Amino acid sequence: RISSLALVCCSLPLGKYTTEELYVRFRFGKADIEYLVNLLRPKLQHRTQRSHSLSVEDQILIALRFYACGTFYQVVGHYMGVVKSAVCDVVRDVSIALASLVNEFVSFSKDNQIAQAKCSFFLLGNMPNTIGAIDCTHEFINRKGRHSINVQLVCDADLIITNCVVKLHGAYPLLPCLMTPFLTANTPAQARFNSAHCRARCAIERLNGVLKRRFACLNYLRAEPQKACNITLACIVLHNIATKRNVPLRADNDAPEPLGDPNQPPAFCQNKQTRRATRDAIVRHYF
Ligand SMILES: *[C@@H]1O[C@H](CO)[C@@H](O)[C@H](O)[C@H]1NC(C)=O
């Protein structure tokens, strides 16, 4: 590998890594990376000329390495044998290419899958009529906390992200039918509702843990705000691809666990009375 460090455009054949190394370094296996290369080729190929003559496969490996370890461009460049500015360009281009696929890979359950989605949530913890768990966070993208981006995620019981909003500023859009737990449960039925709610909410907590273990760059994005949004969207698309393809999550990913208070219900705005009435009806019917 030493010799390749000096090269600006080197070839990074997938074959030089063992399967285990691929998962540890890039979070994906050989077939998955080939899938990504084919998926993104139309979007990245024309950039090949100006992007330091890197092949589509090289570009994808460089970007995956960045998402996986979240370290400085220079460190990624040193590891991959390319200059820092090339890593910066490649991460931008691959992120834009992946982010442009968000509508293809992130969507609410289609009508014919809703029953299945509800069933999976019910099996998870007896929460009825639930098709998604939601979480809204501010991801700080510089250490002084001067910039943050809003990330709102909805996931299903299998940790597939079904809706996402990644924005620099501004309010989260309203979503219908959001259920929060009772602040204090006054009846056994309300207590059962709260327990079921908590188990269902675990899905989104687990999703956040998986996302940040898989793509350590999300723990602290050193990028200007718009680029940070694009990188976040790229990781969301990659997460769904990984989950649908059953890509294993290795335990040796040592990224820190995300911060956040799991007891804190997500913030949102919705007509309080309607929400309470619906929740009471659910408790009467199911708990
Ligand atoms: C982010 O992505 C959009 C396209 O979705 C692109 O126009 C914009 O230039 C990107 N910004 C950065 C800084 O990469």
Task: Confirm whether 78 is domain-assigned.
Answer: yes
Specify whether 118 is located in the same domain as 253.
yes
Q: Which of 76-80, 131-135, 149-153 has the lowest mean pLDDT?
A: 131-135
pLDDT of 67-78, one tens digit each? Answer: 998 878 888 888
The CB-based long-range contact list for 96-101 (8 Å cut-off, 24+ gap) reads: 96/230, 97/40, 97/43, 97/44, 97/234, 98/40, 98/233, 98/234, 98/237, 98/238, 99/230, 99/233, 99/234, 99/237, 100/43, 101/39, 101/237
Which residue's CA is minimally distant from atom 3 of ligand 1?
Answer: 96
pLDDT confidence band for 50 (50 / 70 / 90):
low
3-state secondary structure of 37: helix
Q: Whose CA is nearest to atom 14 of ligand 1?
A: 227
Boundary (domain end) residue, out of 99, 124, 156: 99
> Could you tell me if 69 and 115 lie in one domain?
no
Is residue 6 included in any domain, yes or no?
no
For residue 215, CA distances in Å to 35, 81, 156, 181, 192 come to 19, 21, 20, 30, 35
Closest-lying ligand 1 atom to the alpha carbon of residue 96: 2
Q: Mutation test of ligand 1: which of 87, 102, 230 has the most ligand atoms closer than 8 Å to its C-beta?
A: 230
pLDDT band at 49 (very low <50, low <70, confident <90, very high): low
The answer as to whether 165 is a domain residue is yes
State mean pLDDT over 230-242: 96
| 8 domain residue, yes or no | no
pLDDT for 172 equals 56
Could you tell me if 147 and 261 lie in one domain?
yes
67 falls within a domain? yes
Predicted confidence band of residue 243 (pLDDT cuts 50, 70, 90): very high
- pLDDT single digits (tens) 28-39: 999 999 999 999
Ligand 1 centroid – CA 252 distance (Å):
32
Query: How far does residue 100's CA lie from ligand 1's centre (Å)?
Result: 10
Residue with tokens 């993208």: 141
pLDDT bucket at 17, cuts 50 / 70 / 90: confident
CA of 283 to the centre of ligand 1 (A): 45
Say if residue 91 is in the same domain as residue 117.
no
Confidence band of 257 (pLDDT split at 50, 70, 90): very low
Q: Looking at ligand 1, which residue's alpha carbon is closest to its atom 7? A: 96
Q: Measured in angstroms, how far is the CA atom of residue 246 from the centroid of ligand 1? A: 29
Considering the domain architecture, whether residues 84 and 112 belong to the same structural domain is answered as no
CA–centroid distance, 62 to ligand 1, in Å, is 18
Closest C-alpha residue for ligand 1 atom 5: 96
Ligand 1 centroid to Cα of residue 229, in Å, is: 8
Indicate the residue among 83, 99, 115 that finishes a domain: 99
pLDDT at 96: 96
Q: 27 burial class (0-12, 13-18, 19+ CB within 10 angstroms)? A: buried
Q: CA-based angle 127:151:263, to the nearest 5?
A: 45
Ligand 1, residues 96, 166, 235: which to mutate, most atoms within 8 A of Cβ? Answer: 96
What range defines the domain where residue 242 resides?
A: 107-286
- The stretch 64-93 carries a mean pLDDT of 89
Tokens found for residue 273: 């009375």
Is 214 domain-assigned?
Answer: yes
Q: Does 160 lie in the same domain as 59?
A: no
Q: What pTM was computed for the model?
A: 0.82
Which residue's C-alpha comes closest to atom 4 of ligand 1? 96
pLDDT, averaged across the chain:
80
How many structural domains compose the chain? 2
- Which of 54-58, 82-86, 140-144 is predicted least confidently? 140-144
Same domain, 146 and 31: no
- Examine the domain organization and report whether 126 and 58 are in the same domain: no
Do β-strands 133-140 and 148-155 pair in parallel, antiparallel, or remain unpaired?
A: antiparallel
The rounded distance, in Å, linking the Cα atoms of 218 and 211 is 8
Q: Give me ligand 1 centre to Cα 231, in Å.
A: 10
* Candidate from 227, 232, 235 with most ligand 1 atoms within 8 A of CB, to mutate: 227
Instruction: Tell me 25's DSSP state.
Output: H
Same domain, 127 and 32: no
Pick from 99, 134, 164: which residue ends a domain? Answer: 99
Residue 85, in any domain of the structure: yes
What distance in Å separates the CA atoms of residue 13 and residue 61, rounded to the nearest whole number?
10
235: in domain: yes
56 pLDDT band, cuts 50/70/90, is very high
Residue closest by Cα to atom 1 of ligand 1: 230
Task: Report the pocket of ligand 1 as residue ranges, CB < 6 Å.
Answer: 92, 96, 99, 226-227, 230
